[in-house]
Chains A and B, each alone.
Chain A
Amino acid sequence: MVLLPDAITSFVSFRKGSMDTRLLKKYAPLYVLITPIIIYFCVFIFYPLSQAFYISIQEFGLLGSSGFVGLDNYYTIFDDSDFLQVIENTIVLSLGITFFGFTLPIIPAIALVEITQMAAKRWFQTLIYLPNLFSWVIIIGIWMTFLSPAGSLNSVLISLGIIDAPILFFANEDYARGMIVFQTVWKDIGYTTVIYFSAILSINTDLYEAAEMDGATVWQKIWNITIPQLYPTMKIVFLITLLGSLRTFDSAYLMSNGLISHKITTLALYVYEQGILEFDLGIANAAGVILLIIAISLALAVQKITRNK
């Protein structure tokens, strides 16, 4: 979604260019090579996308369409308090994941740069990057084991006398959203740290030396050089994290249970539940289209705001 404006520019500049039959002939073998790929995209992405729009304005049952209903499906879901809750969940989770996901990794990135022991530096990088490769099933599995009522953390907290009864991390609606944000940040922090880390490394060291000559303290250097120099990277990370968080599905799906699912059902999960489980295709696709609209408008808005700065 980050790329939508670029896609538009590409189409526009294409129209400006001219086609020359002699060139067409010369490049014919290349078109032959790319055609199957374009057909693939049409069949498995663009056709389903057009279907999503189409179905969202149809009354759709198990046997297929039973007629055009205009925006009825949209009215239906906006009247549904469950759906409004879903919107709230999506927004709260997105904000949480985006805020922590794009600010926290700055700290380890700065720390990593300052570590002088090369071996330690490599090991830390390796360790914090590792969870990024794990699937959500593995992530949730690991934390459910560690945080289960009889698990290591609860046992330690009880034996230290900090709590009396085990905390039900995965079955308490007050913790549900926090758990998703926490685990998402835990999974992604290594990746984002590496991006910030390499951005910091590319800052001109003369700036730090000039600040050193001016008598700046460590904190002043971080605040006045590192952070401002990181702005362009932070913008990109912010956008990627925000758009990724809007698609939150796996974590919410896996953590859902009767006690907490009303707090964490996201739009993406709602589309799945309505479309695949309930087979209410009209409603599911209307929700999908709303997700697409939210995502695209946010992407455009963020790009516009950051570009003006």
Chain B
Amino acid sequence: MLNDKKFSLYSLILMALMSVMMLLPLWNVIATAFSTNLDSMKPGLLLWPETFSVEGFEVLFNRLEFWRPFANTMFVTVIGVFLHVFLASVGGYVMAQPNLPGKHFLTGIILLTLTIPSQIIMVPLFIVFKDFHLLNTLTSLIVAELVSGFSILLMRNYFEQIPHSLLEAARIDGASNLTIFFKVYLPLTIPGLITVGLFDVVRKYNMFVKPLIFINDPEKITLQIALKSIVMLDNSTSSSDIVTNNVVAGAIVVALVPLVLFYPYIQKFFIKGAHAGAEKG
């Protein structure tokens, strides 16, 4: 836009430096993860393992049973995201109906849910979960973010992009609400379903405060909590002397793998979402 070659070059250099800033600590962690126990503890710049080793991962999986929280998180994420996307699309479909009496009231309720910071209701929510006997269950984590106003509104925006005449055509064709929802609306909002789903995958995968509060049972802790115990060298995880730097780094790398695998899709849809967010204001 500015159309200046020199400026463009400076921009390139600046962004390259910034990318290094983003990448360097991450690279350092990966190099540490693949070092031996001993090498990982030595001072010095570590950008390539001196001796390539998977000792850290062995400790992680064999002695710290890191696969268990991983499986728990997968369970919560898969089931939770599926339900979340389904409910968000149902809610979004209803909210996208033009002329729905009481729509303003429903919109008000949904906007209000977005207005309340979760930390404020943290303590009473804990009591609610206790009353429902959901503490120390993975179900609690699914229930805690079963659906969100944000996702409903996002789906509503996707549904609203479908031309109104299509809904009318389907009505005249004799389709019921359910038929319109499943046969016309859902197939046309697949990008929306994926976006809402991916947002929720990241949210559920990174969920921290809720498992911290709701789960005590070591059998049921989730990935982020297990990772916290290792990174913070909590005494709760057996003997801390076996947790060398390469184990910590290894845990981080393992936790990163699913995100990196999803990243190309996440980037495609999130960045689109961010663009849309900027335009909506």
Contact = CB atoms under 8 A, between A and B. Distances in A.
B237 interface: no
Contacts of B277: 195
B45 A113 contact: no
A108 B257 CA distance: 27
A137 interface: yes
A123 to B, nearest CB: 7
Contact of B213 (A20, A140, A276): A276
Contact of A250 (B44, B208, B252, B281): B208
Interface string A183-211: 00010001100110011101101001000
Given A30-B100, A198-B278, A146 B24 contact: yes
Interface string A3-40: 11011101101100101100110010111011011101
Nearest to B111: A7
A288 B100 contact: no
A226 to B, nearest CB: 8
Contact of A128 (B18, B95, B126): B18
Nearest to A196: B278
Contact of A271 (B114, B116, B120, B176): B120
Contacts of A302: none
Interface in A264-289: 267-268, 271-272, 275-276, 281, 284-285, 288-289
B256 A138 contact: yes
Interface residues of A, number: 119
B252 A133 contact: no
A288 B177 CA distance: 42
Contacts of B152: 37
Contacts of B22: 127-128, 130-131, 186, 190
Contacts of B104: 10-11, 13-14, 17
Interface in B1-58: 1-4, 7-8, 10-12, 14-16, 18-19, 21-26, 28-29, 32, 41-47
Given A17-B104, A27-B100, A194-B271, A40 B147 contact: yes
Given A124-B18, A236-B281, A6 B111 contact: yes
B281 A127 contact: no
Nearest to B144: A44
Interface centre among B14, B16, B249, B255 (most CB of A within 10 A): B14
Contacts of A19: 101-102
Interface in A86-145: 107-108, 110-117, 120, 123-131, 133-138, 140-145
A55 interface: yes
Contact of A14 (B29, B97, B108, B255): B108
Nearest to A247: B117
Contacts of B79: none
Nearest to A8: B108
Given A3-B115, A115-B12, A198-B275, A30 B108 contact: no
Nearest to A147: B25
Interface stretch (B157-165, B182-190, B225-233): B225-233
B102 A14 contact: yes
Contacts of B252: 138, 141-142, 145
Contacts of A112: 11, 15
A218 B7 contact: yes
Nearest to A28: B177
A183 B83 CA distance: 33
Interface in B119-153: 119-128, 143-144, 146-147, 149, 152
A198 B15 CA distance: 17
8 contacts: A114-B1, A123-B19, A127-B22, A142-B28, A151-B43, A195-B277, A247-B117, A271-B122
Interface of B: 1-4, 7-8, 10-12, 14-16, 18-19, 21-26, 28-29, 32, 41-47, 87, 90-91, 93-95, 97, 99-102, 104-128, 143-144, 146-147, 149, 152, 176-178, 202, 205-206, 208-209, 212-213, 224, 227-228, 231-232, 245, 248-249, 251-252, 255-256, 259, 263, 266-267, 270-271, 274-275, 277-279, 281
Given A27-B101, A46-B113, 12 more contacts: A10-B111, A27-B100, A38-B109, A43-B128, A51-B128, A114-B7, A135-B224, A145-B32, A150-B43, A190-B22, A249-B119, A250-B209
Please list the 4 inter-chain residue pairs (A to B) with the smallest Cβ-Cβ separation, ordered nearest first.
A275-B123, A51-B124, A7-B111, A10-B108
